[in-house]
Amino acid sequence: MAYDANSLESHWMPFSANRDFKKNPRMVVKSDGMYMWDYKGGQIIDGSSALFCTPAGHGRREIAEAVYKQMLENDYTPHFQLGHPGSFDLAERVCRLLPDDFNHVFFTNSGSESIETAIKVILAYQRARGEAQRNRLISRERAYHGVNMGGVSLAGMVRNRETFGLTLPNISLIRHTWQEDQRFSKGQPKTGAELAMDLERIAENLGGSTLAAVFIEPVAGSTGTLVPPVGYLEKVREICDKHGLILVFDEVITGFGRMGTPFATQKFNVKPDIITMAKALTNGAIPMGGVAVTDEIYDTITNSAPDNAIEFFHGYTYSAHPAACAAGIATQKIYQDEGLFENAAALEDYFLDAMWTLQDHPLVADIRGIGMMAGIEVHSDGAPGRRGGNMQKAMFWNGLHIKWTGDNAIVAPAFVAERHHIDEIVDKFRKTLDQAL
Ligand code: PLP
C-alpha cells in the first residue's frame, strides 16, 4: 500500500525525529503474527512486540471481531454514573491474574494515565486514613512512568523533563540498581540489594510519616531492562512496611506475562499495594490502561465518603470504553486459551541464551535480561544515543523492528514466537551491528 509523500507534514509525531523521519519514512502498512510490512513490501520481524504491547502477535482476528461486534451493539457508554457489562467482566478477569487481595481495577486509556491515577489514589487514600501529611512520592533514577506531569515528575529520564522545567513538588529519587559489576549478568544480578537502603535514608532524613508511596518498575523497561538485584524488591517492601508507605509496581511493560508469570509480582514474589498496567491489556489493539488496588485501599477510600456520594473525584471520558473492554476481554481469552504466559516462561532460557550470543560483538557494551525481555547496550559513539538511533533505523531497513532508548535496545518478542523467530531477530541484530563497525 502506498502513501501520499506530500501528506506527511500535518502529523506532529510523538517521541520522533520528525524532520528526519519525513525524509525517508519508515511507514508500516500491514502487520500479522510476528511480522510487519513496510510500504515497499519489505518484511520486518517485530523484536519488541511493537512497544511491548502485542504478546499474542499482530492481527488477531478474535480481537478485531470482538471490537467490531461491540461497536455495532453499543459503541459508547460513558462511565460516569452509568455502566456497561464489559468493564465489569474485564476487571474481574484482570483481578484473577493478580494476588488475592487485589479485587479492584480503575480503567484508564494509557500507561501515563494509569500513573496519574495511581498518584491520586495514593493521595486520596492517605487523606482517607487520616494521614494527609503523607504527601511525598519517591521514585528512582532511570525510571520511566509515562509523560504526563505526574509521571514526568516521578521519572528519572532527564531528556523527558529538562525541556519542561516545571515538575510536581515533593518528589525524591533514589538510585537505580545498575552497577558496573553486573555487566553481562543474566537474570537477577547478585549485587545491589543494598541500594534499597536509599529509601530508608530518605525516611530518616525527611521523616517516614511524611512519605506517601514509592513507585518501582519491577524491571525498569524503557531505560534498557534493568533487572532488580536479588533481594532488592524484598528490601523495598520491608522498608515500605516499616514506614507505612504504599508500594506501587508500575507493570505497564512487565504485566501480562512478560516475565513468564501473569505479573512481575509473581515472578519476584513481592507484593505491592498498587499495580499499574496498560499495553498488553488489550494486546495493543485499542488504547487502555488500568490501576489495580488492594481491598484495603479501595475500602478505605470508598467507605470514607457519605452514602450515595461519589467517592473518588477522578475519571476519564473514555475510562473503560466499550471497544477497549471488548478488546481486553478477547485478549485475556487468547492469553488463557493459548497458554501464552506459559509459552513465555518456556521460551525464556532460549531467548536469553540467544541474546547473550551477541556479547562477543565489539559494539556491545552490556546485555541484561529476564523473562522475555532483554536490554542490549551499545558503546556510545561519542554523542549519547546517536548510535542507538542510527541502529534503530538501519535495523528497520534490514527487516527488524527493535525499540531503542538512547544506546539501549529493548528486545521483547511476542509470546507466540517460535525459536526460529528468535534466531531471525538475533541474526538481523548482529548483521546490523556488523554494518556499523
Ligand atoms: N510506565 C511504564 C513502566 C512504561 O513503560 C510506559 C510506557 O512505555 C508508561 C508508564 C507510559 O505508558 P503510555 O505510553 O501508554 O502512556
What does the pLDDT look like over 186-219, one tens digit per residue?
999 999 999 999 999 999 999 999 999 999 999 9
**Is a pLDDT exceeding 80 seen at residue 314?**
yes
**Is a pLDDT exceeding 70 seen at residue 231?**
yes
Q: How many residues does the chain have?
A: 437
How far is Cα 290 from Cα 107, in angstroms, rounded to an integer?
A: 4
Give the model's pLDDT for residue 131.
97
Residue showing cell 507466540:
416
Give the model's pLDDT for residue 3.
79
Give the model's pLDDT for residue 185.
95
Give the model's pLDDT for residue 323.
98
**ipTM beyond cut 0.90:** yes
**Is a pLDDT exceeding 80 seen at residue 223?**
yes
Taking the centre of ligand 1 as the mean of its atom positions, its distance from the CA of residue 133, in whole angstroms, is 28
Mean pLDDT score, 81-105: 97
**Is a pLDDT exceeding 90 seen at residue 226?**
yes
Q: How confident is the model at residue 35 (pLDDT cuts 50, 70, 90)?
A: very high
Average per-residue pLDDT for the chain: 96
Mean pLDDT score, 44-58: 98
Give the model's pLDDT for residue 265.
98
Taking the centre of ligand 1 as the mean of its atom positions, its distance from the CA of residue 4, in whole angstroms, is 31
Give the model's pLDDT for residue 160.
79
Please tell me the residue having the least CA distance from ligand 1 atom 12: 111
Mean pLDDT score, 217-224: 94
Q: Which residue has the higher pLDDT, 352 or 5?
A: 352
Q: How confident is the model at residue 1 (pLDDT cuts 50, 70, 90)?
A: low
Spell out which residues line ligand 1, taking CB within 6 angstroms: 110-112, 115, 144-146, 217, 221-222, 250, 252-253, 278
| 8 A C-beta contact, residue 432 and residue 383 | no
Residue showing cell 504491547:
53
Taking the centre of ligand 1 as the mean of its atom positions, its distance from the CA of residue 271, in whole angstroms, is 20
How far is Cα 78 from Cα 384, in angstroms, rounded to an integer?
A: 45
Within 10 Å of residue 231's Cβ, how many Cβ atoms? 16
Going from N- to C-terminal start, the domains of the chain cover 5-56+339-435, 64-337
Mean pLDDT score, 240-263: 98
Segments of 303-411 assigned E as strands: 364-370, 373-378, 400-401, 403-405, 408-411
Amino acid letter for position 121: V
Taking the centre of ligand 1 as the mean of its atom positions, its distance from the CA of residue 222, in whole angstroms, is 8
How far is Cα 56 from Cα 36, in angstroms, rounded to an integer?
A: 14
The values of phi and psi at residue 103, to 5°, are -125, 20
Taking the centre of ligand 1 as the mean of its atom positions, its distance from the CA of residue 356, in whole angstroms, is 26
Which CATH number is associated with domain 5-56+339-435? 3.90.1150.10
Mean pLDDT score, 371-393: 97
Q: 7-27: per-residue pLDDT in tens?
A: 899 999 999 999 999 999 999
Mean pLDDT score, 294-302: 98
- Does the domain at 64-337 match CATH 3.30.70.3270? Answer given as no
Shortest-distance atom of ligand 1 to CA 287 = 15
